[in-house]
Structure formats: C-alpha cells, structure tokens
Amino acid sequence: MPQVDASLQPAPTTADSPAKAVVIGASTGGPSAVSAILQALPDTLAVPVFVGQHMSPNIIPEFVHSLSQGVGITVQLANQNEVIVTNHIYVAPGDMDTKLILDPLGNLRILLFPPSTTLTPSIDVLMASVATVYGAHSLGIILTGMGVDGLEGMRAIKAVGGRTIVQDEATSAVYGMAQAVNNEHLADAVLPLQAIAEAIISWSTAS
C-alpha cells in the first residue's frame, strides 16, 4: 500500500463519525515513536488515548513519567477499575493485560488481569476491547515493533468499522507488526511517524 500524505483527507473508511478513542500499539523502537506522536498532539484533544508498549513492567512507570514531561495531556499508568475520561493518556502496565469494559452504570472502566501470553502488555487484547466498547469510533495505530501482536486487534477494529493507521517501513526501527497489518490489507493509511499525530487530530474531529 502506498504512503498516504496526512495533509490530505483521511483514507476511505467505513467509519462515518469521528474517533472517540485512540489506541496505539508498539514494541521495539516504540518508546521514542510513541513520545513523538503524543508530544505532537494538542492539549485540547477531546478523546482518550490508550497505549500498549511492550516493555518490562519495572521500566513502564519511568516511561510514563518521561512521557508526562513532554506531553500537555495528562499521562498516567492504567489503574484497576478506573473510570475512563477524555483528554487522558492511559499506558498499559507491563505485567498485566489491559482491557476496557462497560460497567452496569454505563461507565467505561479499565480492567487489569493476568496476561495470557508471555508478550505483555497484549496489544491485541487492548485493541479488541477498544473495538468492543467504542465500535466504529475506534482509531487503532500500530507502530514499530517485531512480531504480529496487534494484528488481531486491528482486525477487530476494522470489523466494527473503525479506522486504522500503521507506521511506514522507512521510519520504523523494526517493520514487523505494522507490516503484518499492512499485509492483511487492514490499514486505512500507512504513514511516516511524523504524519501520524496530524492524522489522529484530523480523524478525531472530522465528521
């Protein structure tokens, strides 16, 4: 799939409403890529952002702290049973899987539970839960990383009519996870790292 210039209109998609949640998955090379995207987002971004970064659990709190220094939006570690609010960035812990659930009162909450695989946090689990609760208002993004985690999560987002972006090969430290999604024709856009924040802004406000 050719690169898409994010200054143009978003790629064709089955979604007919702006994104109400953004979920980002990354692995090798991800910390700097995630940081670059989040720093380019406006402080007024009116959607929650969920980040699944493959990383040792004892390093993730430091990762969250470093992100919070350069990002205008509140950045925090995802906490058990926390009610989700807009204009917050939630980073999945490294020793648990993270999913979103709708409680009986209609609140969206975070559920943490023991991981089902050795690769944590599971991007597939996080993305699939975003697809479940946000449906066609989901925006999934896969960045640099080795392997295929995130492929099934992006498939789930596409299945409910959400939108998907993958980082291009030229700006990826490892073109593995993004390539897996692209090979399955599940990406609405293949973008260089520096264009992804602009696409998030566009797809979170366009009707």
Rounded to the nearest 5 degrees, what angle is found at the Cα of 38, between the Cα atoms of 190 and 18? 60
The reported pLDDT for the residue numbered 205 is: 75
- Spot the catalytic one: 54, 97, 122, 137: 54
Domain 21-202: CATH class, spelled out: alpha beta
Contact 124, 155 (CB under 8 A): no
- Spot the catalytic one: 97, 124, 149, 188: 149
| Closest by Cα among 156, 148, 155 to 186 | 155
Number of residues that make up the chain: 207
Task: Kindly give the pairing relationship between strand 49-53 and strand 74-77.
Answer: unpaired
Is there a catalytic annotation at residue 204? no
Is there a catalytic annotation at residue 16? no
Is there a catalytic annotation at residue 5? no
Per-residue model confidence as pLDDT tens digits over 36-82: 999 999 999 999 999 999 999 999 999 999 999 989 899 999 999 99
Per-residue model confidence as pLDDT tens digits over 82-115: 999 999 999 999 999 999 999 999 999 999 999 8
